Amino acid sequence: MSDYTLNDLARLVASRAGTSPEQSYTAKLLSEGPAKAAKKLGEEAVEAAIAAVQGDKVGLKNEAADVLYHLVVLLRAGGVELDAVMAELERRTGQSGLAEKAARRHT
């Protein structure tokens, strides 16, 4: 298994943020703003869901990689650090998902 992490992906996205949109897909997405990045994430998420429903494991694997990539790009475009998302996930780990979801309804 690879040691490549979401942090590695976030660093790669950050390194391409300042490059030419004509030479980097990442730079192109970022130059078009959060709305474009959000649209691409939504498209990839739908494709991943369809692959899962169809039992297409290879398709699901490939689309899941696209989802993670586009999520990291969207976080960058939206000015949210991956570390902040990971900290939120860590915070939620201390309680059941049902309790956490119920608590969000009251805030």
pLDDT tens series, the chain, 107 aa: 578 999 999 999 999 998 999 999 999 999 999 999 999 999 999 999 999 999 999 999 999 999 999 999 999 999 999 999 999 999 888 877 677 677 776 65
CATH at residue 19: 1.10.287.1080
pLDDT of residue 62: 98
Predicted TM-score (pTM) of this structure: 0.85
Q: Can you give the residue range of the structural domain that contains 34?
A: 6-81
Cα–Cα distance for residue pair 62/60, rounded to 1 Å: 5
**Is residue 104 a part of any domain in this protein?**
no
Q: How many alpha carbons lie under 13 Å from residue 5 in its C-beta half-sphere?
A: 7
